[in-house]
Amino acid sequence: MPVRILVPTPLRPFTGQQSIVAAEGATVGALLRALTDTHPELRPHLFSAEGKLRSFVNVYVNDDDIRHLKREDTPVGPSDTVSIVPSVAGGSGGASSTLSSQTPLTPLTPLTPLTNEEVQRYSRHLIIPEVGVEGQQRLKNARVVCIGTGGLGSPASLYLAAAGVGTLGLVDFDVVDVSNLQRQILYSSADVGRRKVEAAASRLTSLNPEVRVVTHEAPLSSANALDILGDYDVVVDGADNFPTRYLVNDACVLLGKPNAYGSIFRFDGQASVFATKGGPCYRCLYPEPPPPGLVPSCAEGGVLGVLPGIIGTIQATEAIKLILGIGNTLAGRLLLLDALSMEFRTMKLRRDPACPVCGDHPTVKALIDYQQFCGIPGAAVTAAAATAAVPEIAVDALKSAIDRHERLWILDVREPREFEICRIPGSTLIPLGELPKRLSEIPRGADAPPIVVHCKMGGRSAKAVALLREQGITNARNLTGGILAWIDRVDPTLPKY
């Protein structure tokens, strides 16, 4: 009898955009292999070359992680639901209405009385039994830091400031871009070009002048993470890349700081609380990161604008509950949201006794090189390696060749939706995921014209050039900087996304 498998958004391109797939198998391993036999392009995302289930993909039978059952030998039947939960660039019982379900965080500074103005501002909090005057004082004396002031950090920081969190730290080193405004509600059109922490601080203090905003305009790194995070009670992780995810996790565990985690991709969201006393950490959920480039970023895959508002607000809620010591947090649970079906599901999370960071015998006792851990070399090495790996052509050289009417075949490996937004004249669209099956459409042979391959920024097209060269098509070059560089330096009339 077939078993229902729930496929998350990042993997649906490999199942014909199906969110629910039925397959047959008596165990999880047999079921997943039947799934990848039917959808072979899904196989490298679930299994390594050696046939082992990848460590950055979690599989649940109903709400239980198979790592705490019989792993791939876990039996399944037609009444079971199997969920695939990959990492995206993250149990206790139901919510309680009592104050005794957890202990409030010990503030770094003594509680201070509320002013008359604060009593008026927070009056709706003060009349809630679970908050009251003492709870609001705890919020006033609390210190929360938001890692990133983008899609997740925007709603989280706004609600934390409105709630009266006394000190709010902001870690970001980016500037506001017009493409941010679709989801990053901290900013307005007038902020485009401003430093994010500067614009965010202005917005938050205008919302609540009682809040002290501390800005950290620098990349979070192994050199500064312990110093920055050590000054706060709670960390809200709104990072958009895997090295920072693992850095924040490890620093929180080493410092004993709870981590209100959230992640988003297209229509999918995840939320949890990591690094609480006796609870799991991010590495218990995802022991290892995916290989670079395997999981697309929001810049490549997109995200529904309201989704970070939902997840970021959940992160703020968890931070407030941690400060007040009320209810049951998401520690020990992973909350999954599929916004397309508007379904929330909660999966059990357990601390891994063998975890190298929070386990019984931790081996990671200091922060490490997280770029290296995630398989990402330094910027200079990356550039050199990319140049050595695939030949490239600059956008101005391509424009000159077109103006000279040279024979060229321009291959666009973006997705159809991106192609609709803007394109280089004369280009042919073959999405990267379809390229292995459509190699017959690529001109080859002695009379074949030179091939120029491009994507949005150059990453996907570099993979395409490498694939073509493996297939003996050696006259392909990668367009440096992709179509964004073409727009910047050749045709600024095209829309930029």
Q: What residues act catalytically?
A: 298, 455
Neighbouring residues of 5: CB distance < 8 A, sequence distance ≥ 6 = 20, 21, 22, 23, 31, 35, 81, 82, 83, 84
Secondary structure letter of residue 450 according to DSSP: P
- Alpha-carbon distance values, 35 to 32, 83, 103, 308, 484 (Å): 5, 13, 45, 31, 37
Tell which residue, 206, 145, 147, 207, has the closest CA to residue 173.
147
Sheet containing strand 81-86, strands side by side: 20-23, 3-6, 81-86, 57-61, 64-65
Neighbouring residues of 496: CB distance < 8 A, sequence distance ≥ 6 = 179, 422, 484, 487
Strand residue runs (E) in 339-497: 343-348, 392-393, 409-412, 428-429, 451-454, 476-479
CA-CA distance, 470 to 465, in Å (whole number)?
A: 9
Amino acid at 80: D
CA-CA distance, 17 to 12, in Å (whole number)?
A: 4
CA-CA distance, 239 to 64, in Å (whole number)?
A: 27
CA-CA distance, 245 to 236, in Å (whole number)?
A: 11
Q: What does 82-146 look like in DSSP terms, one character per residue?
A: EEEEE-------S---SGGGSPPP--SS---PPPHHHHHHTHHHHTSTTTHHHHHHHHHH-EEEE
- Alpha-carbon distance values, 41 to 3, 7, 156, 437, 491 (Å): 20, 14, 37, 10, 36
